[in-house]
């Protein structure tokens, strides 16, 4: 079993969330506005322009799932059940401290869960068009973005000015660039950073509420890792390089990402919402802000969109740029959109890119760890041979 590379002061994802509870409590005591969010489609710039803090409400861990199953079907994505269960049992301090929730009609499970969540707290649900390229899709989505602005203004009794929106766009674009540069350290061969750190730092960043501080940290860590590569890694032999795709992996970091690296491969990149999916695509700073925000978020390549060709283009680029030797797709149980798209992903990876592909379907329990290890081990052996 190999040790994965982690810095001395490494903070795990659950630890980062715990620390964030305290920062959020402090912000609440200082009278800051707090908006709970879930998804990459969320127009964070509007929240920023409302002088509010956005906090991610996605659940991890299996402890709140039995409570969720009192109202939700068992055969539902664990991310949805964990998110609802933690709010319904009042065990999610992020939800507790949120003044309101901003959510989008992405997959069927999530959108129906938001209806139940709306019973607990004010929940603004943005209607997402079913396909980004459909006739009128942009106009429809732009009106939805406009309605978030209006709701934030009414809810907080404020005015979101164009100046504030433009400042928020600039700030978030700088943050996107810092995150992307950090991610792209994974392109170095051999990589000086573990995928476990990549996944943890980027998802934990959603719980760092001071964006300037976050940018500073990411820039510094990127410099450290680039120097480390020059001093210790350059010219050395690389382990098999894996690109992760599929559903978000923050709830299965230990179960899948850590195990891939302990079993002998490097996770070098993520083609999912824990990766650069939307970071590569800044918001146009010159256009009318509402139009630019609507255009940007409509380009997110999620499987909830039909059709979703942009995902394959992004995946192809990442396979090349990160020099991936194989692709592992993580499918959360009962996630129909990613599960259906996985057949096309498999064909794209094995036929067009000519590298091996493995799909792992799992949930937040630990019962299938042995089976997952066996499959990952065999996949790495195949890449090594």
Give the residues lining the site for ligand BJ8 (CB under 6 A): 39-41, 77, 79-80, 106-107, 109-110, 247-248, 273, 300, 302, 304, 332, 335, 337-338
Residue 72: exposure state from Cβ atoms within 10 A (0-12, 13-18, ≥19): buried
Q: What is the DSSP letter of 50?
A: T
Minimal distance, residue 30 CB to ligand BJ8, in Å: 29
Looking at beta carbons only, is 57 or 358 nearer to ligand BJ8?
57
- CB crowding 32-59: b at 16 or more within 10 Å, else e: ebbbbbbbbbbbbbbbbbbebbbbbbbb
Q: Which residue(s) pair with 359 in the sheet?
A: 329
Considering beta carbons, is residue 94 or 229 the nearer one to ligand BJ8?
94
**Between 174 and 336, whose beta carbon lies closer to ligand BJ8?**
336
Query: Cβ of residue 149: shortest distance to ligand BJ8, in angstroms?
Result: 21
Nearer residue to ligand BJ8 within complex by CB, 106 or 318: 106
Q: Is 109 or 356 the residue whose CB approaches ligand BJ8 more closely?
A: 109
Q: At its nearest, how many Å lie between ligand BJ8 and the CB of residue 162? A: 27
SS3 196: helix
Nearest to 360 by CA among 222, 251, 238, 244: 244
- Rounded to a whole number of angstroms, the minimum distance from the CB of residue 247 to ligand BJ8 is 4
CB 19 within 8 A of CB 210: no
- C-beta of 220: minimal distance to ligand BJ8 in Å? 28
Least separation in angstroms between residue 140's CB and ligand BJ8 is: 18
Nearer to ligand BJ8, 58 or 319 (CB): 58
Shortest CA distance to 209 belongs to which of 25, 2, 9? Answer: 25
**Which value, in Å, is the radius of gyration of the alpha carbons in the chain?**
20
Strand segments, DSSP code E, in 89-152 are: 100-104, 123-126
DSSP 3-state percent helix, strand, coil across the chain (nearest 5): 55, 10, 35
């Amino acid at each position: 079993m190999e040790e994965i590379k982690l810095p001395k002061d490494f903070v795990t994802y659950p630890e980062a969330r715990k620390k964030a509870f305290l920062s959020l409590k402090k912000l609440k005591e200082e009278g800051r506005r707090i908006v709970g969010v879930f998804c990459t489609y969320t127009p964070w710039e509007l929240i920023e322009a409302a002088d509010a803090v956005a906090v991610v409400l996605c659940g991890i861990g299996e402890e709140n799932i039995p409570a969720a199953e009192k109202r939700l079907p068992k055969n539902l994505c664990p991310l949805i059940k964990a998110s609802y269960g933690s709010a319904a049992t009042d065990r999610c301090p992020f939800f507790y401290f949120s003044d309101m929730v901003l959510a989008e009609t992405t997959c069927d499970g999530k959108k129906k869960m938001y209806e139940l969540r709306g019973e607990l707290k004010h929940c603004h649900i943005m209607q997402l068009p079913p396909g980004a390229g459909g006739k009128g899709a942009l106009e429809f989505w732009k009106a939805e973005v406009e309605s978030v602005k209006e709701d934030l203004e009414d809810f907080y009794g404020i005015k979101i000015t164009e100046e504030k929106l433009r400042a928020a766009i600039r700030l978030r674009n700088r943050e996107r660039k810092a995150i992307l540069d950090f991610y792209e350290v994974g392109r170095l061969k051999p990589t000086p950073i573990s995928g476990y750190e990549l996944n943890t730092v980027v998802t934990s960043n959603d719980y760092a509420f001071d964006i300037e501080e976050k940018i500073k940290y990411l820039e510094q860590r990127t410099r450290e890792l680039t120097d480390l590569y020059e001093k210790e890694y350059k010219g050395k032999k690389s382990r098999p390089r894996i690109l992760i795709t599929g559903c978000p992996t923050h709830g299965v970091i230990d179960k899948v990402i850590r195990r891939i690296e302990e079993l002998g491969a490097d996770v070098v990149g993520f083609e999912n919402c824990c990766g650069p999916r939307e970071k590569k695509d800044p918001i146009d700073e010159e256009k009318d802000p509402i139009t630019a925000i609507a255009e940007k978020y409509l380009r997110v390549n999620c499987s909830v969109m039909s059709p979703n060709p942009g995902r394959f283009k992004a995946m192809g680029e990442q396979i090349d740029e990160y020099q991936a030797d194989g692709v592992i797709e993580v499918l959360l149980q009962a996630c129909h959109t990613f599960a259906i798209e996985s057949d096309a992903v498999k064909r794209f990876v094995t036929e067009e890119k000519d590298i091996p592909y493995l799909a792992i379907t799992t949930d937040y329990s630990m019962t299938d760890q042995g089976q997952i290890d066996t499959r990952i081990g065999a996949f790495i052996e195949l890449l090594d041979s």
